[in-house]
Chains A and B, each alone.
Chain A
Amino acid sequence: KNEVEQSPQNLTAQEGEFITINCSYSVGISALHWLQQHPGGGIVSLFMLSSGKKKHGRLIATINIQEKHSSLHITASHPRDSAVYICAAGGSNYKLTFGKGTLLTVNP
């Protein structure tokens, strides 16, 4: 069993819908990262969370340390949001444990 589990694996939405991607982890962490990987493979760091909530544009990330769970929300989704979204848990040091990713497709 992977230490970081994401759900769903695949998600298809219509433009404008509210999107939620979930991440559960079984290890103690000091930080939780959300990454975006576009077709063609480039990876971009979206958020780093230690607690609470962060917002950037239409993206919102939350974390519940007690429940070992984080969510990434996208409001007013757009086809350009189509990508693989990856969560990664960081423990006491630099070594990140990655989920397998959620493939999001937003149709116009």
Chain B
Amino acid sequence: NAGVMQNPRHLVRRRGQEARLRCSPMKGHSHVYWYRQLPEEGLKFMVYLQKENIIDESGMPKERFSAEFPKEGPSILRIQQVVRGDSAAYFCASSLTSGRATDTQYFGPGTRLTVL
């Protein structure tokens, strides 16, 4: 009965490198959400995806960030040319039913990205 899985748990990158964060939703869940938690800040919505579709990316920075949720495999959050300000914890969550405020979202353990 695996929950939401994220890897890696910790990721260190130098400025200018690429970061790839992976999220495997709970079995049977086809709705995935990515959140970013900056130090001393609350979680902030980044993007909502369903299989093969980006539904809402209104919380994503316009440049360098992209997300996908392919038909097979995990959801990927990709950050190109990382900068120190990208250092944060990135959480993904999944839900069983179509994205509503009343849905329970199940969170992964997060990936802590450190940019040197």
Contact = CB atoms under 8 A, between A and B. Distances in A.
B102 A90 contact: yes
A75 to B, nearest CB: 23
Specify the main secondary structure of chain B where it touches its partner.
strand
Interface stretch (A11-19, A55-63, A66-74, A94-102): A94-102
Contacts, number: 69
Contacts of A91: 101
Interface of A: 2, 4, 29-31, 33, 35, 40-45, 48, 50, 86, 88, 90-101
B48 interface: yes
Interface stretch (B61-69, B76-84, B106-114): B106-114
Contacts of B112: 41
A72 to B, nearest CB: 16
Contacts of B106: 45
30 contacts: A2-B42, A30-B102, A41-B89, A41-B109, A42-B107, A42-B110, A43-B91, A43-B93, A43-B110, A44-B107, A45-B104, A45-B107, A48-B104, A50-B102, A88-B43, A90-B100, A90-B101, A90-B102, A91-B101, A92-B101, A93-B101, A94-B31, A94-B33, A94-B100, A95-B48, A96-B45, A97-B45, A98-B35, A100-B40, A100-B41
